[in-house]
């Protein structure tokens, strides 16, 4: 698989300018597509924004005090014809638009928004939004129709929780300076884009089955990302297998195997690595170690099998790794 070009990570904060200049500053750096409304008398804007630019999409995460913005086609610059898939990680959003399109969203809500349609967005104090912006043409091809402003409930598409988890995961990394290299960020952004298109394709073709062919481009990176998010949530289940993962991702096992093969992995090998890394972190953070309990919590049926796999992966038994970690702990 050809690697995407490296991404540039950019950060802005309203604290960089005087309070009187913060609203126009925020409009210029974060909201050049919209009309930011004046604040209430005596209010100051406190906001921060991080942006990850890719070749055919971009990712952002922002947090702010309360303010309102409005969208319409006249505010969208030429060449910026994008659709936003947004996760409201915290806080509240009131959205008012055409009849039938208004809604109130709380933490955890996933939505699709189109900046060229008329709408009013009222962000509550402390709202944190994490989102990916995709080219309108790619969204239309995936969805099979003109996109609109809408909340995407988990029951509408099985991939909605996985995309929400992926957006939250990428948001955490973007907010940590030096968390990844530009090349690693590019790969993660490409996978997020692919997962978003996969969700839209399945959402638009409901009733036709989930295992649909990839018509315009390969969406295997999205399947791989969705599978990893599902594994993270269910790795504690010893019976978790490729069939269950494929069903959750909405594809056949063959396509799932292909998606992991493109990453140089196997499905069960990736699951085993996830479980072992989770066990290693637990061993390093806990003052006491009970190998049997730890093995069970990490999805291993037998403690003896877990110990053998752990030694083969890290070169020490769980007990020896724990002893070394405790000896190296501060204050020892």
Question: 88: how many CB neighbours lie within 10 A of its CB?
Answer: 23
Same domain, 158 and 294: no
Distances (CA, A) of 249 to 110, 147, 153, 163, 244: 18, 23, 16, 11, 9
Same domain, 75 and 104: yes
Q: Please answer whether residues 64 and 121 qualify as being in contact, where contact means their C-beta atoms are separated by less than 8 angstroms.
A: no
The answer to the question of residue 206 being in a domain is: yes
Same domain, 177 and 297: no
Look at residues 239, 265, 291 and tell me which one is the last residue of a structural domain: 265
The answer to the question of residue 103 being in a domain is: yes
Same domain, 318 and 212: no
Average pLDDT over residues 179-190: 92
Same domain, 96 and 206: yes
What CATH number should be reported for the domain holding residue 293? 1.10.10
Convert the pLDDT of each residue in 312-331 to its tens digit.
999 999 999 999 988 887 76
Q: Please answer whether residues 291 and 311 qualify as being in contact, where contact means their C-beta atoms are separated by less than 8 angstroms.
A: no
What CATH number should be reported for the domain holding residue 30? 2.60.120.10
Same domain, 193 and 221: yes
Average pLDDT over residues 59-83: 89
Convert the pLDDT of each residue in 154-178 to its tens digit.
878 889 999 999 999 999 999 987 8
Q: In b/e form, how buried is each residue of 3-22, taking b as 16+ CB within 10 angstroms? A: ebeebebeebbbeebeeeeb
Same domain, 122 and 202: yes
Encoded tokens for 97: 């638009």
Number of domains in the chain: 2
Same domain, 243 and 300: no
The answer to the question of residue 1 being in a domain is: no
The answer to the question of residue 20 being in a domain is: yes
Same domain, 31 and 118: yes
Residues spanned by the domain of 127: 8-265
Name the one residue in this structure whose structure tokens are 């006491």: 288
Convert the pLDDT of each residue in 277-321 to its tens digit.
999 999 998 888 899 999 999 999 999 999 999 999 999 999 999
The answer to the question of residue 332 being in a domain is: no
The answer to the question of residue 270 being in a domain is: no
Same domain, 195 and 321: no
Q: Please answer whether residues 192 and 225 qualify as being in contact, where contact means their C-beta atoms are separated by less than 8 angstroms.
A: yes
Q: Which helix (H) or strand (E) holds 59?
A: strand 57-64
Convert the pLDDT of each residue in 96-126 to its tens digit.
876 667 899 999 999 999 998 889 999 999 9
For residues 175 and 270, what is the distance between their CA atoms, to the nearest angstrom?
Answer: 26
For residues 252 and 213, what is the distance between their CA atoms, to the nearest angstrom?
Answer: 11
Q: Residues 19, 25, 31, 34: is their CA dihedral positive or negative?
A: positive
């Amino acid at each position: 698989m050809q690697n995407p070009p490296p991404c540039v990570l950019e950060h802005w904060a309203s604290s960089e300018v005087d309070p009187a200049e913060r609203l126009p500053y925020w409009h210029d750096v974060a909201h050049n597509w919209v009309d930011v409304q004046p604040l209430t008398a005596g209010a100051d804007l406190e906001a921060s924004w991080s942006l990850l630019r890719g070749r055919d999409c971009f990712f952002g995460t922002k947090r702010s005090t309360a303010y309102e913005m409005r969208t319409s086609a006249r505010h969208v610059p030429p060449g910026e014809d994008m659709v936003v898939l947004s996760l409201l990680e915290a806080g509240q959003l009131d959205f008012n638009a055409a009849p039938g399109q208004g809604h109130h969203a709380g933490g955890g809500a996933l939505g699709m928004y189109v900046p060229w349609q008329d709408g009013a967005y009222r962000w509550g104090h402390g709202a944190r939004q994490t989102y990916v912006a995709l080219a309108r043409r790619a969204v239309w091809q995936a969805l099979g129709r003109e996109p609109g402003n809408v909340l995407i409930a988990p029951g509408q598409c099985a991939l909605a929780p996985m995309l929400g988890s992926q957006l939250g995961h990428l948001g955490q990394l973007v907010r940590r300076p030096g968390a990844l290299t530009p090349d690693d960020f590019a790969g993660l952004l490409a996978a997020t884009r692919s997962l978003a298109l996969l969700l839209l394709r399945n959402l638009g073709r409901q009733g036709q089955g989930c295992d649909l062919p990839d018509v315009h481009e390969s969406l295997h990176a999205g399947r791989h990302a969705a599978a990893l998010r599902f594994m993270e949530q269910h790795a504690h289940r010893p019976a978790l297998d490729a069939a269950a993962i494929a069903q959750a991702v909405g594809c056949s096992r063959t396509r799932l195997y292909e998606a992991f093969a493109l990453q140089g992995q196997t499905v069960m090998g990736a699951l085993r690595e996830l479980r072992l890394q989770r066990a290693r972190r637990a061993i390093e953070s806990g003052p006491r170690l009970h190998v049997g309990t730890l093995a069970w919590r990490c999805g291993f049926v037998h403690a003896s099998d877990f110990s053998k796999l752990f030694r083969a992966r890290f070169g020490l038994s769980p007990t020896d790794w724990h002893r070394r970690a405790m000896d190296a702990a501060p204050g020892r």
